[in-house]
Amino acid sequence: MTTTTVPDIDTLRIGVLCGGDSPERPGSIASGEHAAKALADTGIATELIDIADTSLSALPGRIDVALLGLHGLHGEDGKVQGALEVIGMPYTGSGVLASALGMHKPTFKNLLTHDRIDTPRWVVVNPDISIESTLSVVRHTLAYPVFVKPSSGGGSLAAGIAHDEATLRRMIEAAATDPYAEYMVEEYVQGIPCTVGLVEVEGRLVTLPVHDVEAKNAFYDYEAKHDPTLRIEHCPSILPAPITESMHYLARRVFQMIGAHGVLRVDFLAAANGRVTVLECNTLPGLSQRGNLATMAKAGGIPYPVLMHHVVRTAFTKPTYLP
């Protein structure tokens, strides 16, 4: 997997990029602050950089490598990665193509479907198609309740359940005025939210223990993701081994399928009948010390500061064939 020599990261100036103008800005600040502190505490020259007030063109000469603590649009979707490629700045995680594929859920789901991997059935809410047509397609292809989410969202922001057509209509009308522009309607799957983290450790892709959640709200929403009293987590998961093993297998297939690099989190729902369905993947998973990736790494025997070191190294191991 390794294509270049990894420099001694203790000698590098690391810029932890976070913030920006994504709807997921608060989560990104948390990722950046935790990662920067962990690296600085191990004696590495680290600078926390909010890309909302720093031009990427100012980075060369100031830092040697960019650790990406960005999430969501304009950070996780390949645009920042492309800009960093152009200025020759090494950056952590996936390249341009995998980032874009991972961000746009309908495109990602098309790839899954092509590979016969289970993902909830879906209908894209195209802003150029009338609401009547969309409601009619949903009526004929899915059954209520349905799950509504932005095509390029994250953090459960702007997502929700529609139990009937009138509610779905209101959600689509409201969506027309928000920054996500494109939404999707998915088959509602009653199941336990699970996630699997993958991280490259010394040239080897390590699959971390499955993390599962019992959310006290109607689903694993933004509130439950940020308030530990609204969820019960298990890592390693308490689900039966055939379920967790199939998630491990699928997470690695997803990694390969999108051409991810270095680190990835793949999200699933585990239904009571044994169905395991892939919801989405995160090419820049949250890096906060309290986040799922850090929890999974800890359960897998990788302490948080060590995890951050592994993530930094991924900036220097990207195969040149990955766009």
Ligand X SMILES: Nc1ncnc2c1ncn2[C@@H]1O[C@H](COP(=O)(O)OP(=O)(O)OP(=O)(O)O)[C@@H](O)[C@H]1O
Is 193 a binding residue for ligand X by CB under 6 A? The answer is yes
Verify cis geometry, omega within 30 degrees of 0, for the bond prior to 23: no
**Helix, strand, or coil here: 244?**
helix
Among 91, 108, 183, 220, binds ligand X (CB under 6 A): 220
Which positions ≥6 away from 157 have C-beta within 8 Å?
23, 24, 150, 222
Residue 93 interacts with, from ligand X, Mg ion, none (CB under 5-8 Å by kind)? none
Is 212 a binding residue for Mg ion by CB under 5 A? The answer is no
Among 30, 93, 267, 294, binds Mg ion (CB under 5 A): 267
DSSP symbol at 62: T
Shortest CB 11 distance to Mg ion, Å: 36
The dihedrals phi and psi of 274, each to the nearest 5 degrees, come to 95, -5
Nearer to Mg ion, 68 or 281 (CB): 281
Closest C-alpha to 94, from 229, 321, 247, 259: 259
Chain residue whose CB lies nearest Mg ion: 267
Is 270 a binding residue for ligand X by CB under 6 A? The answer is no
Task: With contacts defined by CB under 6 A, name the span among 81-89, 155-163, 172-180, 313-321 that binds ligand X.
Answer: 155-163
Beta strands in the chain (DSSP E): 13-18, 45-50, 65-68, 122-125, 146-150, 160-162, 183-187, 192-201, 204-207, 211-215, 231-234, 263-270, 276-282
Is 188 a binding residue for ligand X by CB under 6 A? The answer is yes
The size of the interface with ligand X (CB under 6 A), counted in residues, is 19
Shortest CB 136 distance to Mg ion, Å: 29
Of residues 280 through 299, those in contact with ligand X by CB under 6 A are: 280, 282
Residue 155 interacts with, from ligand X, Mg ion, none (CB under 5-8 Å by kind)? ligand X
Is 168 a binding residue for ligand X by CB under 6 A? The answer is no
Alpha-carbon span 209 to 14, nearest angstrom? 28
Alpha-carbon span 55 to 71, nearest angstrom? 18
Is 94 a binding residue for ligand X by CB under 6 A? The answer is no
Using CB under 6 A, list all residues that contact ligand X. Answer: 120, 147, 149, 153-156, 159, 186-189, 193, 219-220, 267, 279-280, 282
